[in-house]
C-alpha cells in the first residue's frame, strides 16, 4: 500500500530542506520559489516506491495550497525550527490537521545546529508537547534534526517507514475518486492530472467523470511514483493522462470519479466545529472561504444562531459555484478577510432535497454519526425506499459497509428496497387511509386505479406495489383498480330508482351506443357513477371509453351474429348495419368490441367468425 506524508509548519522552518534531506529531491520547482527562497505551491518527492512526501507552503498567504496538500495525506510531519519555536502558522497548520481528522503524525525539530543550548531545545520540546496534548499528535515521537550536520535524518526516515507500516486501514468507498492537485500538458500526451487516489481502482481505457462540469474523459495512461502502471488504486499517488473534450478548464480543485457516483452540488449541510481560540464567530449570511479536497470556494452560511469559538453546530452552506462533494467528507472554513482558519466541518448531507421549513428541520435533526444519520435518511424518505446500491452511492460507501449498517439497524431488505419496520407500518396505514377516503368520497365507485393511489400517497411505484401485495388479505382487485374488501356499494332509494331508469334508457337505445351525458337521469357525474355500478354487476358494457350498451341488448347482438354466421362465412360493415339497423358511427365501435371479445375476427375489411362465437 502506498502512503502519503504531508509536511506542516511555519514559513522558513526548514520543511523543504528536510524533505530534500530525506528524499534527495528539491520540491521547490517554481522559479519564483527559487528566487524568493520559500515554498509557494505544493511539492512532491518520493521517500521510496511506497511513500510520497507532499511539501506544503508555510506562509499564511498560501494556506489554501497547504490545505489542498494535506487534505489527502495519511501521516502528518509537523516541522518546528529550533531557533524560532512555535509560531502562528505552526498553530494554524496543527488546527487544520486536527480538523481534517488526521490520526497519525510525527514531529521534527529542525535547525538544531543553530542552537548550542540544549536546554533551549528541551524547552521547545516541552512547549510542543503542551501544544499537541489534546490532538492526534499527543503521543507522536519528536525528532531533533539538522540538515546541515545530517543529524537525526536517518532516525526520522526510519520512523516514517515504520509508521507507514502500522497505519489503520481506511474503508474503501467502493468507487474511484481522486481530487486533482496538479494539471499540466505534455507534448504528445495532452492533459495530465495528478492527485492521491482516495478510493477505488482504475485501469487504462475506462471512462471517468470530471467535475465540476460533469465532463467525460477517457484514461489514456497511468503512472505512479514516476513509473508507468497498469492500474492505480486507493492510496496511490497517481498521474493520469486524460483525453476528451472540454478539458481545458481543468485545475486544482477539480475531481475525477467513476461516472454516476458523485453529484455536483451548490448546497451542503455540515457539522461545524469552531476552533477554541479563534476570535471569529460564525454568523448567519456570513461569507467564508471553504476548503474541501483540493478545492477552494466562497460560501454563505445559513444558521439560526451565531456559533462561537469552541462550539459545534449543524450549518447550511450555500456555495458560490458547484463542487463534487462526498458524504462525510471533511473540510476547513476560513474567515473572509483577513483569512484565518476558524473551524472544521464534516459533510452531513451533500445534496439536501428539502426547502423552507422542512430544510431547517432537516438541518437541525441530522446526526453527526454516519450510522445514526443513515437510519435518519431511511426513516425520513420512507415513501421512496432505495436499494443497497443506491444507498451506497448516496452515502459514498461500499455496499459491504451498507449491508453491515442494515444488519446492525435491524432494517429490512426486500424486493431491492431497504426499509424499517416503522416505514412499512406507516405505508400500510397510509394506503388504508387513501382507500378509505376514496370510498367515502366516491361511494358508487368500486375501485381506485393504482396510478391514482400513487399520486395521492406519493409512494414510489415499486414501494406501492410491495405495500399492495402486503395488504392482499384486505384488498380486492376490481375494475382495473383496488378496493377494500370491506367496501360495498349500497344504493339509496332515490339512486336505486335512477339505476332502473338508466337501464330502461339503455335498453330503449338498443344498438345505438349511449354516452353518460345523453342519459338524462341526473348530471353526468351521477350517470357515470351509476353506470360503473351496473358495469360491475355485468348489466352494461363499456364498448369504447364513454360509450355504453345494455347487457340484454348485447346478448341480442351475439344471437344475431351467431345466426348470421350460420349461413354466411364473412360479413362487412354494410351487412352489420343492415342487421343491427344502426349507423356507421355505432357500427364501427360495436364491431371492434366484438373483435376484442373474439366473437368476430377481422380480415381486411371483412369479419369472420371468432374463437368465442357460439
Confidence (pLDDT) at 38 = 38
Q: Which helix (DSSP H) or strand (DSSP E) does residue 197 occupy? A: none
Residue found under cell 478510493:
199
pLDDT digits (tens, 9 = 90+) for 132-170: 999 999 999 999 999 999 999 999 999 999 998 888 777
Cis preceding linkage at 212, omega within 30: yes
CA 116-118-120 angle, 5° bins: 95
Dist CA 104 CA 135 (whole Å): 10
Three-state DSSP at 275 gives: coil
Set of cell numbers at residue 231? 492500474
253: left (phi over 0), alpha (psi -120 to 50) or beta: left
CA 207 to chain centre: 20
Pair 76, 6: CB distance under 8 Å: yes
DSSP, res 114 = G
Instruction: Supply the angle between the helices 584-596 and 573-580 in degrees, to the nearest 10.
Output: 110
Confidence (pLDDT) at 40 = 38
> Which of the residue ranges 9-13, 105-109, 123-127 would you say has the lowest mean pLDDT?
9-13
Give the closest residue to 423 by CA, choosing from 442, 406, 403, 448: 406
- The number of beta carbons lying within 10 Å of the beta carbon of residue 404 is 12
Q: Is the pLDDT of residue 346 over 90?
A: yes
Dist CA 474 CA 482 (whole Å): 10
Pairing relationship of beta strands 341-349 and 264-274 according to DSSP bridges: antiparallel
CA 73-81-196 angle, 5° bins: 10
202-208 long-range Cβ contacts below 8 angstroms, 24+ apart: 202/176, 202/231, 202/232, 202/258, 203/230, 203/231, 204/230, 204/231, 207/259, 208/176, 208/242, 208/256, 208/257, 208/258, 208/259
Dist CA 395 CA 207 (whole Å): 22
Dist CA 129 CA 133 (whole Å): 6
As a whole number, the mean pLDDT across the chain is: 89
Confidence (pLDDT) at 469 = 96
Which pLDDT band holds residue 190 (cuts at 50, 70, 90)? confident
Confidence (pLDDT) at 188 = 76
pLDDT digits (tens, 9 = 90+) for 312-344: 999 999 999 999 999 999 999 999 988 899 999
pLDDT digits (tens, 9 = 90+) for 573-613: 999 999 999 999 999 999 999 999 999 999 999 999 988 76
Cα distances (Å, whole numbers) of residue 99 to 133, 286, 298:
15, 21, 19
Q: Is the pLDDT of residue 520 over 70?
A: no
Q: What string of DSSP letters covers 378-389? A: HHHTTTS-B-HH
Cα distances (Å, whole numbers) of residue 588 to 122, 321, 546, 566, 571:
105, 62, 15, 22, 13
Share of the chain above pLDDT 70, in %: 93
Dist CA 187 CA 185 (whole Å): 7
Amino acid at each position: 500500500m502506498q502512503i502519503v506524508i504531508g509536511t506542516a509548519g511555519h514559513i522558513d522552518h526548514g520543511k523543504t530542506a528536510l524533505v530534500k534531506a530525506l528524499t534527495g529531491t528539491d520540491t521547490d520547482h517554481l522559479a519564483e520559489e527559487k528566487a524568493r527562497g520559500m515554498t509557494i505551491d505544493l511539492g512532491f518527492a518520493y521517500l521510496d516506491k511506497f511513500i510520497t512526501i507532499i511539501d506544503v507552503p508555510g506562509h499564511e498567504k498560501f494556506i489554501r495550497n497547504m490545505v489542498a496538500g494535506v487534505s489527502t495525506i495519511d501521516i502528518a510531519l509537523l516541522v518546528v525550527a529550533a531557533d524560532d519555536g512555535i509560531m502562528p502558522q505552526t498553530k494554524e497548520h496543527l488546527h487544520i490537521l486536527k480538523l481534517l481528522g488526521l490520526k497519525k503524525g510525527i514531529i521534527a525539530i529542525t535547525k538544531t545546529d543553530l542552537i548550542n543550548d540544549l536546554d533551549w531545545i528541551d524547552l521547545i520540546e516541552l512547549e510542543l508537547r503542551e501544544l499537541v496534548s489534546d490532538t492526534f499528535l499527543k503521543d507522536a515521537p519528536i525528532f531533533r534534526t539538522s540538515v546541515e550536520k545530517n543529524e537525526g535524518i536517518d532516525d526520522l526516515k526510519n520512523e516514517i517507514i515504520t509508521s507507514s507500516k502500522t497505519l489503520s486501514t481506511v474503508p474503501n468507498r467502493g468507487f474511484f475518486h481522486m481530487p486533482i492537485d496538479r494539471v499540466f500538458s505534455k507534448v504528445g500526451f495532452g492533459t495530465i492530472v495528478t492527485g492521491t487516489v482516495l478510493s477505488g481502482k482504475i485501469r487504462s481505457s475506462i471512462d471517468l467523470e470530471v467535475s465540476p462540469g460533469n465532463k467525460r474523459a477517457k484514461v489514456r495512461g497511468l503512472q505512479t511514483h514516476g513509473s508507468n502502471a497498469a492500474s492505480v488504486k486507493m492510496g496511490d499517488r497517481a498521474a493520469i493522462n486524460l483525453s476528451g473534450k472540454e478539458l481545458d478548464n481543468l485545475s486544482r480543485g477539480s475531481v475525477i470519479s467513476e461516472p454516476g457516483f458523485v453529484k455536483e452540488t451548490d448546497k451542503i449541510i455540515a457539522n461545524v466545529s469552531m476552533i477554541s481560540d479563534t476570535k471569529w464567530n460564525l454568523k448567519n449570511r456570513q461569507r467564508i472561504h471553504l476548503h474541501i479536497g483540493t478545492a477552494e470556494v466562497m460560501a454563505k452560511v445559513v444558521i439560526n444562531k451565531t456559533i462561537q469559538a469552541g462550539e459545534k453546530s449543524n450549518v447550511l452552506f450555500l456555495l458560490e459555484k458547484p463542487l463534487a462533494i462526498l458524504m462525510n467528507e471533511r473540510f476547513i472554513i476560513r474567515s473572509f478577510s483577513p483569512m484565518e482558519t476558524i473551524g472544521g466541518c464534516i459533510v452531513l448531507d451533500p445534496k439536501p432535497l428539502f426547502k423552507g421549513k422542512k430544510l431547517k428541520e432537516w438541518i437541525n435533526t441530522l446526526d453527526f454519526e454516519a450510522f445514526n444519520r443513515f437510519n435518519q435518511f431511511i426513516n425520513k424518505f420512507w415513501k421512496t425506499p432505495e436499494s443497497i446500491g443506491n444507498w451506497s452511492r448516496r452515502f459514498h460507501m461500499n455496499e459491504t459497509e451498507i449491508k453491515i449498517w442494515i444488519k446492525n439497524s435491524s432494517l429490512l431488505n426486500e424486493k431491492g428496497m431497504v426499509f424499517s419496520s416503522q416505514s412499512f407500518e406507516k405505508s400500510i396505514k397510509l394506503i388504508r387511509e387513501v382507500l378509505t377516503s376514496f370510498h367515502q368520497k366516491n361511494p358508487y365507485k368500486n375501485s381506485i386505479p393504482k396510478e391514482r393511489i400513487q399520486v395521492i400517497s406519493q409512494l414510489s411505484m415499486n414501494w406501492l406495489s410491495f405495500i399492495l401485495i402486503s395488504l392482499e388479505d384486505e384488498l380486492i382487485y376490481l375494475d382495473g383498480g383496488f378496493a377494500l374488501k370491506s367496501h360495498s356499494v349500497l344504493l339509496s332509494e332515490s339512486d336505486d330508482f335512477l339505476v332502473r331508469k338508466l337501464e330502461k334508457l339503455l335498453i330503449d337505445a338498443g344498438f345505438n351506443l349511449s354516452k353518460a351525458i345523453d342519459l338524462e337521469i341526473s348530471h353526468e357525474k351521477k350517470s357515470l357513477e351509476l353506470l360503473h355500478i351496473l358495469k360491475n354487476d355485468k348489466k352494461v358494457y363499456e364498448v369504447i371509453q364513454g360509450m355504453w350498451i345494455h347487457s340484454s341488448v348485447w346478448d341480442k347482438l351475439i344471437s344475431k351474429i351467431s345466426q348470421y354466421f350460420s349461413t354466411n362465412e364473412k360479413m362487412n360493415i354494410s351487412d352489420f348495419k343492415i342487421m343491427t339497423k344502426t349507423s356507421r358511427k355505432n357500427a364501427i365501435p360495436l364491431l371492434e368490441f366484438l373483435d376484442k371479445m373474439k366473437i368476430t375476427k377481422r380480415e381486411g375489411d371483412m369479419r369472420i367468425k371468432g374463437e368465442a362465437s357460439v
